[in-house]
């Protein structure tokens, strides 16, 4: 399925480069929801997310001849969108809220990259769990994301909210696979330290 989607993107890019504007419109329609969700979680503001998505598509359109068939167009789009989010955060002086660097010292609760941690938070589209009201779960999810420094936030969102494979995250962020796993583990330790008690109600 994923490979078929990549082949479809390759065909759409080829058609767009041949001068068919409807092809790029299809690319936008296919990827805009995922990019918007990512940018909204990164910036925390709808206006910033919309600006970042629009700028990302414009940047990719202008550089479309550089695209190499066989590579994932979605990875390129996510990379550009993340860079736009960071630029917006810097310009609007929001980055200071996410400037903490490094994870906590000491041991967290459990090992791994946080699959169990995020598993306790329902998808925002799912019904509430264990008596926790929907608004409470959404608020907790937002506070968890906001608490992460930028270096940990992006891999955390891509893995646990966008469900992106590790190797794709590494390509999008320009990191090694090991670095991605280390950052995810650091994010887990930080979140367990600060939100472990609240997450316990989801057991």
pLDDT computed for residue 133 by the predictor: 43
| Mean pLDDT of the 34-57 span | 91
| Mean pLDDT of the 134-160 span | 78
| Mean pLDDT of the 184-200 span | 81
Residue 76's CB is within 10 A of a number of other CB atoms, namely 21
Whether 168 contacts 71, CB under 8 Å: no
Nearest Cα to 103, choosing from 198, 161, 181, 32? 181
Nearest Cα to 155, choosing from 147, 143, 165, 140? 165
Taking the C-alpha atoms of residue 120 and residue 90, their distance in angstroms, rounded to an integer, is 32
Taking the C-alpha atoms of residue 191 and residue 203, their distance in angstroms, rounded to an integer, is 16
DSSP for residue 53:
H
Whether 185 contacts 113, CB under 8 Å: yes
**Burial class (CB within 10 angstroms; exposed 0-12, middle 13-18, buried 19+) of 29:** exposed
pLDDT computed for residue 203 by the predictor: 40
Nearest Cα to 114, choosing from 201, 193, 39? 193
Give the right CATH number for 2-95 from 3.30.420.10, 3.20.20.100, 3.30.565.10, 1.10.1740.10: 1.10.1740.10
At residue 135, does pLDDT exceed 70? no
Least confident of 49-63, 108-122, 153-167: 108-122
Taking the C-alpha atoms of residue 62 and residue 82, their distance in angstroms, rounded to an integer, is 17
DSSP annotation string for 13-28: HHHHHTT-HHHHHHHH
Whether 16 contacts 23, CB under 8 Å: yes
| Mean pLDDT of the 182-187 span | 92
Least confident of 33-42, 112-121, 155-164, 181-190: 112-121
| Mean pLDDT of the 72-96 span | 79
Least confident of 3-17, 38-52, 60-74: 3-17
pLDDT computed for residue 137 by the predictor: 58
DSSP annotation string for 173-202: HT--HHHHHHHHHHHHHHHHHHHHHHHGGG
Per-domain boundaries in the chain: 2-95, 100-202
- Taking the whole predicted model, whether its pTM rises above 0.85 is answered as no
- Model confidence at 4, pLDDT cuts 50, 70, 90, reads low
pLDDT computed for residue 99 by the predictor: 37
Of residues 155 and 88, the one with the higher pLDDT is 155
Give the right CATH number for 100-202 from 3.40.50.11440, 1.20.1060.10, 2.60.120.590, 1.10.10.10: 1.10.10.10
pLDDT computed for residue 104 by the predictor: 38
pLDDT computed for residue 15 by the predictor: 95
Nearest Cα to 195, choosing from 129, 132, 108, 131? 108
| Mean pLDDT of the 37-46 span | 89
């Amino acid at each position: 399925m994923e490979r078929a989607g990549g082949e479809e993107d390759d065909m759409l890019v080829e058609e767009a480069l041949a001068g068919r504007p409807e092809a790029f419109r299809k690319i936008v329609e296919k990827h805009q929801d995922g990019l918007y969700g990512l940018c909204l979680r990164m910036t925390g503001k709808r206006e910033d997310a919309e600006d970042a998505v629009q700028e990302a598509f414009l940047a990719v359109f202008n550089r479309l001849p550089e695209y190499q068939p066989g590579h994932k167009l979605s990875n390129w789009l996510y990379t550009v969108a993340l860079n736009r989010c960071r630029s917006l955060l810097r310009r609007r002086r929001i980055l200071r809220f996410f400037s903490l660097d490094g994870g906590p010292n000491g041991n967290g609760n459990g090992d791994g990259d946080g699959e169990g941690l995020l598993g306790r938070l329902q998808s925002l589209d799912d019904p509430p769990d264990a008596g926790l009201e929907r608004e409470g779960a959404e608020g907790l999810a937002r506070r968890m994301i906001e608490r992460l420094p930028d270096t940990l936030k992006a891999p955390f969102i891509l893995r646990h909210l966008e469900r992106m494979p590790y190797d794709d995250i590494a390509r999008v962020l320009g990191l090694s696979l090991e670095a991605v796993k280390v950052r995810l583990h650091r994010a887990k330790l930080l979140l367990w330290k600060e939100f472990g008690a609240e997450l316990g109600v989801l057991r």
